[in-house]
Structure 1
């Protein structure tokens, strides 16, 4: 899997310090999700990342989780400051030399990343053949693509992620007649349905945030939630006794979110020899 930041040079030109801070934070997210999906970050240079997986399904799921989590973090940022990654995934033979990997398998993934849409995922034919019937994802065939330094055209497929993975030219072009007709015939949804969808979206964002957290954070949240459920089942909301047994876990959670992460980031910045 190869990933890099879309329009990274423009982001650096506009806000160098903020872009570097955001890149470090987003890489921490990618590192945590990579570890969860049994991957290995092989190399990072500039804004690019190369990740190796033993399982192609884990690679695709990790890419989806990365794009979903980063889209949540980008949602509160102005459009000009959003940092969106392009991801390309290929399944093929590689050559291993020390900690690095080389070969056509890596080259094709890098070229797929270059033609992927912002915030999107581009797959090769070999990846698509392995995951098309095994993962609950939508795929869009984009046909053969001529990519740099690869002789034969590469069959490509995009992963549908909430409408964010449509090809760039289709998103920026004019509406088709069918799309325009559907817009004209759309019926406004009732307010209760919009409220329900908003609540569901909030739960989904909370779930993605929690999945990206370390095990200790998830454990604390789980214990607090467990006490709340027991309280609800035994006493309802008339007596909120769950607060007291939850206090130690809440204290650990607050400590890690406010102090533990800063210490971890400081250690990663200074290094063991500083």
Structure 2
């Protein structure tokens, strides 16, 4: 069994089923265009690789935690710009979770606790939000000028231990982060 340490970015479309029910063709076209024009190029630009696509989500791995967080912020800003010209009913919002952890490598796929925590964080994120684990925060807190808000130790589904969780403010980019709470344990 091969293993590796990597940063995992999990992204999922908010309200996907309702969007598809309301406008299946239009939603599919917007999702496909968003993936080809925004997600695939940004992930590649930040040295990441998509290893799993689902209808309403995706998983990507990065060799650098800084690259993963920068990519997530860029994706959310890009989606915001794309949504600005759309009606509220047409807008696509994504939740993102990022974790750094040990992975099991099986061909092109990745498994294990590192992936599971990232997907659970994504599920806790607000629409258009980004949540990162404490291990991610520890690596990027002094390397990036984003605001981070400590949300406490969270119990996440099917993970025995609690996870230290931080909300990233992708718009707070000048000087010291706007809501920096410091490292909490």
Q: Shift of the alpha carbon at 1:161?
A: 2.7
Deviations 1:194-229 (A, max 9, x none): xxxxxxxxxxxxxxxxxxxxxxxxxxxxxxxxxxxx
- What residue in structure 2 maps to residue 125 of structure 1? 134
- What residue in structure 2 maps to residue 77 of structure 1? 86
- What residue in structure 1 maps to residue 149 of structure 2? 140
Is 1:94 the counterpart of 2:103 in the alignment? yes
How far apart, in 1, do the equivalents of 2:171 and 2:102 lie? Answer: 31
Q: Shift of the alpha carbon at 1:31?
A: 0.3
* Counterpart contact for 2:146–2:171, Cα < 8 Å: no
How far apart, in 2, do the equivalents of 1:157 and 1:23 lie? Answer: 27
- What residue in structure 1 maps to residue 30 of structure 2? 22
Max radius of gyration: which structure? Answer: 1
Divergent runs of 4+, >2 A? none
Name whichever structure is richer in helix by fraction.
Answer: 1
Structure 2 residue runs of 5 or longer lacking an equivalent are 1-8, 173-185
Indicate the structure whose relative CO is greater, using CA pairs within 8 Å and at least 6 residues apart: 2
TM-score, normalising length: structure 1? 0.59
For residue 42 of structure 2, give the secondary structure of its aligned residue in structure 1: helix
- What residue in structure 1 maps to residue 44 of structure 2? 35
Structure 1 residue runs of 5 or longer lacking an equivalent are 164-274
The alignment's C-alpha RMSD in Å is 0.9
Equivalent residues in 2 for 1:191-230, closer than 5 Å: none
Name whichever structure is richer in strand by fraction.
Answer: 2
TM-score, normalising length: structure 2? 0.86
